Structure 1
Amino acid sequence: MKVKKYVASSMPEAMKVIRAELGPEAVILKSRSVKVGGFLGAFTKKKLEVIAGVDDQVKKPKKYVKNHTNEELMKQVNELKQLITTMQPSRNTSVEYPLLVQKAISFLQHQEIEERLLKEVRDKVMELYYTTPSLGDKQLVEWLKNWFEEYLSHSECSKVFQKKYINVVGPTGVGKTTTLAKLAASCILEQNQRVAFITTDTYRISAIDQLKTYASILNVPVEVCYNSEDFQQALQRFNEYDIVFIDTAGRNFLDSQYIHDLHNMLSFNEYMETFLVLTATAKMADLREVYKQFSNIPIDSIILTKLDETTTFGPIINLLTECQLPAAFITIGQDVPDDLEKYTTKKIVDYLFGDWKYE
C-alpha cells in the first residue's frame, strides 16, 4: 500500500488533495490536530494532519473524470463514513468537528442525550454536513427533528382505554392522582362515559382527600380499598360503569415490597389496562431504575408528567429509545383536564429542541 501524509486547514481540503493525488480508491488511515509554524512555540497555527493510503495494485488514472454521477456520489459517501469512523475521539487524538456539527453535539449533550444515541446522531450529522452545500441552523434542526421523530416512531401508543379498568402506577411524587383525574375528566367530557374511582393509596390521608375532591367535582363515585377483599368488592359495585380508574399508592420505587403489594392487591388480568407514570424531571438513572422495578408487572404504556417543569428532555428520550413500552399521554401543568395531551413523537421532539439558539 502507498501511504502518504497530508497537512491541511480542514478535512474537505485534505480530501480534495488526497483524491487528486491518490485517486478515488484512497482511504483515510488516521487524522489528528497538529500545530505548525511559529517561533519557539509561539505563533503556531492549528492544522489537520491526515494519513491516507491506496493499494499499490490499484492503477491510478492520470486524470480522474466523473462519468458516472451516482457511482461517484456513493464513493464520496463511503469515504465520509470512513472519515467519520477514523475521527472518533481517542486518548491520542483530538478531533475538531465543523462548528455547526459541534453546536449540534454540544446541544444534545446539554440535553443529556446518552452517548450510545449521540454517536448515531453525530455520524449522521457529519455525513449530512459534507453532502449538503451551505447547511444552516434551520435546515440542520429540521433534519434533526425528522431523524428523532423517525427514531422514536415506535414510542407512539396507537390505542388507549381499550379495557374497562384503568390502573395508574408509579413512584411517589410523579402526579399519579392528578393525572388519573385528568384521564377521567377527558372520558366524561369527550366520550360521555360513566366513570368511577377506586383508590388503594391508604398510606396518605391527603391522597384519599385529594381523590375525593376530584370525584366530587366530576360527580363520580369513589371507593377506598384497604386490602384485596375491599378491592374485589369495589369492582363488583362498579360493574355497570363504563370505565373504572384505579389510583395506587406512591411509595419508594427501590422497595421491592411495593411491587409485591401491588401484585397482591390488584388483579392484573385481561380486563385491566395499566399506565406507568414517570416524571420528566427525573434523572436518567432513576428513570431506568423505576422502569426496571415496574417491569415486573404488566405495563401497557407510559404517561410522562411535568414537562412544563424542566428544560432538559434527554433522559426521557433515552428511556423511550431503550424500553419497549409506548407512551400514551403527557401532562404540562396542574389544570384538570386541560393540561393533559396525547403523546406524539413530534411533541416530544419539539420539546427537545425548544431551547436551540438560532444564528
Structure 2
Amino acid sequence: MKMKKYTADTMVQAMEKIRQDFGEDSVILSSTIVQSKGILGLFKKKSVEVVAGYDEPISPKEKTVPLFTEHVKRDSGQEAMIDELKKEMKEMKQLLKANHAPFEFHQYPEEMQALLTRLSAQELNDATIQKIASEIFARMKAEKVDFTADEQKKIAREILKEELADLPFGGVHFKKKYVNVLGPTGVGKTTTIAKIAARSLIENKRKAGFVTTDTYRIAAIEQLRTYANLLQAPVEVAYNDTDFKEALKNLSAKDIVFIDTAGRNYKEKKFVEDLKKLIDFKLEMESYLVLSATTKESDMRSIIDQFLEFPIKQFIFTKLDETETFGPVFNLLRDYNMGIAYVADGQEVPEDLEEATVEKILTLLLEEGAHA
C-alpha cells in the first residue's frame, strides 16, 4: 500500500487532493485536526492532517501467490487492524465519491464553533451557514478581535434577515371574500382555520361562514361544526363542485367565508387534480398552504412542488411546539420565495396562533428555547 500525508484547511480540500493523487479507491488511514499558535493568541487557525493510502493493483502472476504464507503469519491485533481499515475504506469511498461534501466549519476559530454548531443542528442550509461563517470571520480578522457569542448572533441575524427581506410576513387582512386553507393530512388545517376565523370575529367584527370539503372524515366535519357553533357561524358541506357552488351561494351574505379542504396525501398528483376540479381558484380568494414544522424538509418540498400550480399567497406553519429544529422553515421560505402568514404552537383557539414576523423566525433559529 502506498501512503501519503496531506495538510489542508478543510477535510474537503484534503479529500480533493487525495482524489487527484490516488483516485476513487483511496482510503483514509488517519485524520487529525491541528491548530497554529496564531498571532498574539489571536486568529488561531485550524487545519487537518490526513494520511491516505492506496492499494496498488496486483498483477496476474502475483495473484497466484498467497498474500500471507506459512512464513508470514498475522496475529489477532493485525487481523483487527486490517478489518478496521477495510471498514474505513468502504466508508471513505462513499464520501470521496460524493459530489457535494457537507459544510465543514472546524477551520474557523474556536470562538465561532458554538454558533456554527447550532445552525448546523438547526438544519439550516450549508450555503447560508458558510455565508454567515465567512462574514463573521472576515470581520474578526479586520477588527483583530474575537467577537462574543452575542456579537456573532447579531451578525448572523443581519445576514438571515437580509435573505428574507423581500418576503411577505403577517396574517390574513380579510380584504377578500374567501380564505382557502390547503395542506396534507394531519397538519392541523381545521384548528388553524378556526383560529383565523375567531380573530376575524374578535378583531375585525366580520360575520363568517365555513365550507368544508373534507368529506372523507366525519370527525373533521364535526370538529369544524364545534368551532363554528362557538363562533355562531354556519357550516356548509361540499361533496362535489356542484355542492361547493351551492355552499358559496348559501353563504353569500357573510362578510368572509373560510374554506377547509380535505387533508390528503398531496404528494400524489391525483388528489391535487381532484382539488383543482372542486374549488374555483378564480374567485376573490386568498389561499394558504399549511405545513407542519415537524415534517421532514424533503417531504415538505414534495408537497409544495405539487401545490405550485395553485395561487398560494403564503405558508402557515403549525406544531412549532413539537420540534426544536427550525432551519427547514427558513430554507423553504428562501428557496420558494414565499413568506409566512402565521405560526401555530398549540391547540387553543384562538390563542395558539401568532402572526409571523422575520424576527420570530430568526429568534427560533438563533436562541435556545425560543418557542417555549
Question: Would the TM-score normalized by the shorter structure come out above 0.5?
Answer: yes
Closer/same/farther in 2, CA of residues 213 and 8 from structure 1, 3 Å limit: closer
Range with greater deviation from structure 2 (175-184 or 142-151) = 142-151
CA distance in 2, matches of 1:306, 1:154: 25
Q: Deviations over 1:119-153 (max 9, x none)?
A: 22222122133234241111112222232122222
Task: Tell me if 1:108 matches 2:135.
Answer: no
User: 1:212 matched to which residue of 2?
Assistant: 225
CA distance in 2, matches of 1:165, 1:198: 10
Q: Report the residue type matching 2:125 in the other structure.
A: E
Deviation of 1:283 after TM superposition, in Å, equals: 1.0
Q: Deviations over 1:262-291 (max 9, x none)?
A: 110001015011000011111110111111
Q: Which residue of the other structure, out of 325, 329, 339, is the alignment partner of 2:342?
A: 329
User: 1:348 matched to which residue of 2?
Assistant: 361
Q: Deviations over 1:79-137 (max 9, x none)?
A: xxxxxxxxxx989x996320122222211111111212222222212213323424111
User: 1:152 matched to which residue of 2?
Assistant: 164
Report SS of the residue matched to 1:303.
strand
Report SS of the residue matched to 1:300.
strand
Q: Which residue of the other structure, out of 14, 33, 36, is the alignment partner of 1:9?
A: 36
- Normalising by structure 2, report the TM-score: 0.71
Deviation of 1:154 after TM superposition, in Å, equals: 2.5
Task: Tell me if 1:176 matches 2:189.
Answer: yes
Would the aligned equivalents of 2:176 and 2:284 in 1 still touch at CA under 8 Å? yes
Range with greater deviation from structure 2 (158-167 or 228-237) = 158-167
Range with greater deviation from structure 2 (158-167 or 134-143) = 158-167
Closer/same/farther in 2, CA of residues 255 and 12 from structure 1, 3 Å limit: farther
Closer/same/farther in 2, CA of residues 328 and 99 from structure 1, 3 Å limit: same
- Normalising by structure 1, report the TM-score: 0.73
User: 1:241 matched to which residue of 2?
Assistant: 254
Q: Which residue of the other structure, out of 134, 143, 149, is the alignment partner of 1:123?
A: 134
Q: Report the residue type matching 1:294 in the other structure.
A: F
Report SS of the residue matched to 2:166.
helix
CA distance in 2, matches of 1:123, 1:12: 20
Report SS of the residue matched to 2:220.
helix
Closer/same/farther in 2, CA of residues 227 and 129 from structure 1, 3 Å limit: same
Report sequence identity in percent: 39
CA distance in 2, matches of 1:170, 1:264: 16
Q: Report the residue type matching 2:134 in the other structure.
A: D
User: 2:295 matched to which residue of 1?
Assistant: 282
Deviation of 1:340 after TM superposition, in Å, equals: 0.9
Q: Which residue of the other structure, out of 185, 195, 201, is the alignment partner of 2:208?
A: 195
Deviation of 1:255 after TM superposition, in Å, equals: 1.2
Would the aligned equivalents of 1:8 and 1:14 in 2 still touch at CA under 8 Å? no
Q: Deviations over 1:313-338 (max 9, x none)?
A: 01111111111222111111111001
Q: Report the residue type matching 1:9 in the other structure.
A: S
Structure 1 runs, 4 residues or longer, greater than 4 Å off: 10-16, 31-35
Q: Deviations over 1:302-355 (max 9, x none)?
A: 111111111110111111111122211111111100111110010111111222
Q: Deviations over 1:2-40 (max 9, x none)?
A: xxxxx9924557999xxxxxxxxxxxxxx95459xxxxx
CA distance in 2, matches of 1:8, 1:276: 48
CA distance in 1, matches of 2:369, 2:341: 26
Equivalent positions of 1:254-265 (< 5 A) are 254-265=267-278
CA distance in 1, matches of 2:42, 2:326: 37
User: 1:142 matched to which residue of 2?
Assistant: 154
Report SS of the residue matched to 2:259.
strand
Report SS of the residue matched to 1:150.
helix
Closer/same/farther in 2, CA of residues 321 and 12 from structure 1, 3 Å limit: farther
Would the aligned equivalents of 1:156 and 1:343 in 2 still touch at CA under 8 Å? no
Report SS of the residue matched to 2:309.
coil
Would the aligned equivalents of 1:275 and 1:303 in 2 still touch at CA under 8 Å? yes
User: How many residue pairs were aligned?
Assistant: 284
CA distance in 2, matches of 1:270, 1:146: 39
Equivalent positions of 1:41-52 (< 5 A) are none
CA distance in 1, matches of 2:210, 2:147: 54
Closer/same/farther in 2, CA of residues 147 and 90 from structure 1, 3 Å limit: closer
Closer/same/farther in 2, CA of residues 205 and 321 from structure 1, 3 Å limit: same
Q: Deviations over 1:177-201 (max 9, x none)?
A: 0000000000000000110000000
